[in-house]
Chains A and B, each alone.
Chain A
Amino acid sequence: MSKEYAILPCNGLDKLAGYVTREIALRLAEETGSEIICPTFYRVSDARYNKVASEKPLLVIDGCGTRCAGKLAAEKGLKITEKINVTDESKKFGIKIGSGLRMGEDEFKLAEMIASDLLREDAIPPAGQDSKSAVIMPESLEYEIYQKDKFIFRLPKAGFYFNENDCWAYVSGNKARIGVTDYVQKSLSDIMFFTPPEVGSEIEQFGEAGSIESGKAVFEIICPVSGVVTAVNEKLLDYPEYINDNPYEQGWIAELELTNFESDKEMLLQFEDYFKIMKKKVDEYHV
C-alpha cells in the first residue's frame, strides 16, 4: 500500500479493537500521506469528506463484527477498495486483544503488524494474479424463474449442482466453477465487498470459499465441492455488484480443481430439487 488512500476506521470507543483501528489508520497516514476520514464527523457532514472518499481508493478498517465503518461506507454509497477487520486480523496474527479500553503493549504491536502487512501488500502481487480461468461455460444459460412480489429469482435449468446453502458448482472435466444463487444475492441486496478464497488453497466440501458482504450482512460462501482453488473472479474485487447482476455468469466466485467429486456429488442437488428448496426459502424467509 504505497499509494494514498482514504482511510475510514470505525474508531469505536466501546471496545479496544476500535482503538486499534485508529492506531492503524494513524500509522498508515503517516507512512503514505493517506487521508483519514473521521466516522463521527462524516456522519453529520458529507461535505467534509465526500471529495476525498470518491477520489482516492478507500480502505475501511473495522474493529469488530458490528462493522460500523463498513456500514457507514454502504450508507454513503462509497466504493470500498480494501477492507480489514481487526478482530479477524488479531486471530491471524495470534495476538489477543484485551478486554479493557486502554491500548497496551499487545495492542500497539498488533496495530504495527497489521499496518506493516498493509504497507507490504503492494510489493507482492496478490496470490490471485496468476489465476487463470479454465472452466468453459455455455454461451447462454436457460433459466427458470420464481417470482415473489416484485422479486424475481432465477435458476439455471441444466448443468449446475447446488448445495442446500444456496451455492452452485458447474463442473467441466476435473474442474468446477462455483458461485452463489439468486437467493443469496437478493437476500443480501447490494453487494459491496468480495473476499476471495486464496488461489492454491485446498477447500473441503462445505468449507469456506471466501465471503461476500452487503450493508445487511456477511455471507460465507459454502463450497459445494472439494478441491484446490485455481482461479478467482478478480473482476469482483472492483465490481462486486456483478454478483447482483447475475451470480451465475459474470458474478461467478472461483474455480477449483476437483479432488473428490464422485463423493461430493452425493451431497449435491440438481435443478429440480434445489428449485423446490429455493422456492420454499423465498416463501418463508425472504423479505
Chain B
Amino acid sequence: MSENTFMGVPRDKIDWAPVIDYGKCNYCMDCVKFCPHQVFEVRENEEKRLIVKNPNNCVVFCRACSKTCGLDALSFPNKSDTTKRIKEIRKEMEGSE
C-alpha cells in the first residue's frame, strides 16, 4: 500500500485538486497562505506566478481554498464522480488481492 492513501486508495489514483483559472487569478496568494498542505507553489519569475505543484497533497473533498478566493478562480472536480471512482478503485483492488 502506498504511504499516502485516501479511503485505502493510493492518493495518486484519485483525481482531486484545485484548477486555477488564470483568467481570473490576480495572484493575491490567499490560497497559498491558507493551504497547509503545500498544494500550491509560487513561481516568482514566471508568467504563471502560481501553480498547483502537489495535486496529491490536496485533501480529497476539501474545497476550502476556493472559499477563500475572492475572485472565484479555483474550481474542483465533481464530488459524486470522485466518490464513484474511489469505490470502483476499491473494488478493483479487492479483486486483485
The A206-230 residues at the B interface (CB cut-off 8 A) are 206-207, 211, 217-220, 222
Given contacts A165-B59, A217-B34, A266-B90, contact A204 B80 (CB under 8 A): yes
Closest to B84 in A: A204
Complex Cα–Cα for A119 and B45 (A): 50
Size bracket, chain B contacts: 20 to 34
Query: What per-residue 1/0 map shows which CB atoms of B53-97 lie under 8 Å from chain A?
Result: 000000111111011111110000001101100110010000000
CA of A107 to CA of B7, assembled, Å: 44
Are A165 and B79 within 8 A (Cβ)?
no
Complex alpha-carbon distance, A218 and B82, angstroms: 22
**Cβ-defined contact, B67 with A207, below 8 A:** no
**Given A63, A164, A165, A217, which contacts B67 in the complex, CB threshold below 8 Å?**
A217
> In this assembly, does A267 line the interface, its C-beta being within 8 Å of a C-beta of chain B?
yes
- Interface members, chain B 28-47 (any A CB < 8 Å): 30, 34, 36-37
A205 neighbours in B (Cβ, 8 Å)? 83
Q: Which residue of B lies closest to A64 (CB)?
A: B70
Say yes or no for A285: interface residue by CB 8 A criterion: yes
Does A65 lie within 8 Å of B64, measured CB to CB?
Answer: no
Taking CB atoms, residues of chain B closer than 8 Å to A220 are: 62-64, 67
Q: How many inter-chain residue pairs (CB < 8 Å) link A and B?
A: 60
Question: Per a CB cutoff under 8 Å, which of A15, A222, A287 touches B70?
Answer: A15
Contact (Cβ within 8 A) A204 B79? yes
Chain A residue at minimum C-beta to C-beta distance from B68: A65
Min CB–CB distance A218 → chain B (angstroms): 4
Taking the nearest CB of chain A, how far is it from the CB of B10, in angstroms?
Answer: 14
B83 nearest in chain A by CB position: A206
Do residues B72 and A164 form an inter-chain contact, with CB atoms below 8 A? no
Which residues of A sit under 8 angstroms from B79, Cβ to Cβ? 204, 206-207
Q: How far is the CA of A287 from the CA of B35 in the complex (A)?
A: 12
* Chain B residues with CB under 8 A of A15: 70-71
Chain A residues within an 8 Å CB radius of B67: 65, 211, 217-218, 220
* Contact yes or no, A64 B86, CB < 8 A: no
C-alpha gap A29/B61 in the complex (Å):
39
A66 at the interface (CB under 8 A from B): yes
Contacting residues of chain A (50-84) with chain B, CB-CB under 8 angstroms:
63-66
A285→B64 contact, CB < 8 A: no
Which B residues touch A287, using CB under 8 A? 36
Q: CA separation between A239 and B60, bound complex, in Å?
A: 30
A87 lies within 8 A of chain B by Cβ: yes
B4-36 contact mask (Cβ, 8 Å, vs A): 1 or 0: 001100000000000000000000001000101
A206: chain B residues at CB < 8 Å are 61, 79-80, 82-83
Q: Can you pick out 19 interface pairs between chain A and chain B where the beta carbons lie within 8 Å of each other?
A: A65-B68, A65-B70, A65-B72, A165-B61, A204-B79, A204-B83, A206-B61, A206-B79, A206-B80, A206-B83, A217-B34, A217-B64, A217-B67, A220-B62, A220-B67, A222-B62, A266-B90, A267-B7, A285-B37
